[in-house]
Structures are given as C-alpha cells and as structure tokens.
Amino acid sequence: MKHPDKIEGYSLERLASIFSDADNLYQLACDLREQSSGDYSKGRKQLANRLDLTAERLSEAAYELGYESNGFVAESLVKEVGNLRYDKIVGILDLVNSQFSVRSEPWFRNASLKLDEAVEELSKAWKICEPYMKNNKAK
C-alpha cells in the first residue's frame, strides 16, 4: 500500500482542526484498527500491535471528548488521512493535541493524555515502516 505524505487541498493545521472532533477522531481509530487487522493477517504482527494500540488510545480520546456516533463524519477524508504516512498522521495528532492541552476542562486533559499515548505508539509504527517507505515516496 502506498502512503502519501499529504492530501491535496488540506494543510496539516486544517486536518488537525477537522480531527479535533470526537467523531472524526473515532473514525480514524477505526480505520487504523482495520489496517492493523490487514497487517496482522500478512504476518506483520509488531506493526499490527502498534496500530491497534494507537487505535485504542484514539478511541479512548474520542470517548473522553464525548463521542456518541451520531455526529458528522468526513468519511472519505478519514480514509485519506488514515492512508497517509504514519509520520504525517503523528504530525496531525500533535497539532490536535496542542489544541487540547491548553484547555482546562478535564475531558480535554484526559483526551490529551490519550493522544500522547497514541502518538507514541504511532511513532513506533512509523519506525517499523520508515525503512520500507524510502523506496515508496508519494508524489
């Protein structure tokens, strides 16, 4: 699978704004969990584990923010973001987290902690994939 490093028409800041929404964050978790299953079935267990842990933390962050599965979800955009190189998703999540970390409400603080953990796991997934991505540069 080719993982692009950008989505035409969207800056990282714009994507971070979109993914600060609990419903979109939860759907991104679902997309990464789906990728995890695919990697597991291909024998990439270490990568699958990192993606699954990332998805779990993103789900927890979404629930902290009040995810109820009845909001607007930008499904096609979620798929595009989920398909980005993992280092680029980390950048988006870091920007989302910077929005959450300055808020004083406990649910934002709790979501921020979960995002920290998700970023840590996804960064580990990127380290596994990075050597293979050098020959797979997206245009």
Q: What pLDDT score does 111 carry?
A: 92
Q: What is the pTM of this model?
A: 0.82
10, β-bridge pairs: 7
- Model confidence band, residue 87 (pLDDT cutoffs 50, 70, 90): very high
Least confident of 26-35, 47-56, 61-70, 125-134: 61-70
Span 55-77, average pLDDT: 82
The two tokens of residue 127 are 């380290």
Give the span between the Cα atoms of 60 and 44, in whole angstroms: 24
Whether the per-residue pLDDT at 134 is higher than 80: the answer is: no
Query: Of 5, 2, 3, nearest to 92 (Cα)?
Result: 5
pLDDT confidence of residue 110: 92
